[in-house]
Amino acid sequence: MKIFLDTADTNLIEKHYATGLIDGITTNPTLIKKSGRDPEDVYKQLIDLGIPDISMEVVGTQEQMLWEGRRLANKFGKNATIKVPCTPDGLDVCRQLSRSLVKVNVTLIFSASQAILAAKAGAKYVSPFVGRVDDNSFGGLCLVKEIASIFTKQNVFETEILAASIRGVRQVGRAFEYGAHICTIPPTIFDKMYNHILTEKGLEIFEKDFIASHENY
């Protein structure tokens, strides 16, 4: 059960990685653009922080994605996971990189059939987009459940389900319950995972009672 952060904000990543509860990072071109930085500066900084698994997305034609994926994998080594879209070109790149033992995250997965093809192409991770499926009036978490059920029944052990596009804390628990191996979440959602009103209230009472009981002696 792993938690990845879905962001390219290295300040936030550094702060949250220090909790010891974060296992990796996923980025995408939108998150990199939001960071306002050169993608490779971001990746380099994350490697220096010791992040063991960083998804680096490639785009373009089959040739461009393959060339860029190989270059990034050579440059950043075992910490690099190359992220490709679930298209015929993307899956061909996945197949070729996986054969050379490069980890591949197949992204933009919206159906079980896409996850099946990605697994057959040797993907290390398949990324169903829970939130974006929900946005389109289908069940994002049901998709996670369906993929997990297929992978279990078909003894697919080499490909892990990385639940992506997570929009709320409740989805994290549900995604793991339904068989996701990893959830990638924005830092704001990670922060909210700590919270519960009854923890706050309970702690308030325990602290008051602690002080009161020590005042008596």
Cβ atoms of 37 and 70 closer than 8 Å:
no
Choice between 79 and 184, CB closer to ligand E4P: 184
Phi-psi region of 194 (alpha: psi -120 to 50; beta: other; left: phi over 0): alpha
200: tokens are 């706050």
Number of H-type helices and E-type strands within the chain = 11, 8
Tell me whether residue 44 is one of the annotated catalytic residues.
no
> Which residues inside 6-35 make contact with ligand E4P, applying CB under 6 A?
6, 26, 28
Answer for which of 25, 72, 164, 189 binds ligand E4P (CB under 6 A) is 164
Distance CA 66, CA 83 (A): 11
Which range, of 15-23, 111-119, 125-133, 169-177, touches ligand E4P by CB under 6 A? 125-133
Least distance CB 12 / ligand E4P (angstroms):
15
Of 88-107, binders to ligand E4P (CB under 6 A) are: 107
Alpha-helical (H) ranges within 18-111 are 29-35, 39-49, 62-76, 88-99
Tell me if 76 contacts ligand E4P by CB under 6 A.
Answer: no
Given the rule CB under 6 A, which residues bind ligand E4P?
Answer: 6, 26, 28, 107, 127, 129, 131-132, 164-165, 184
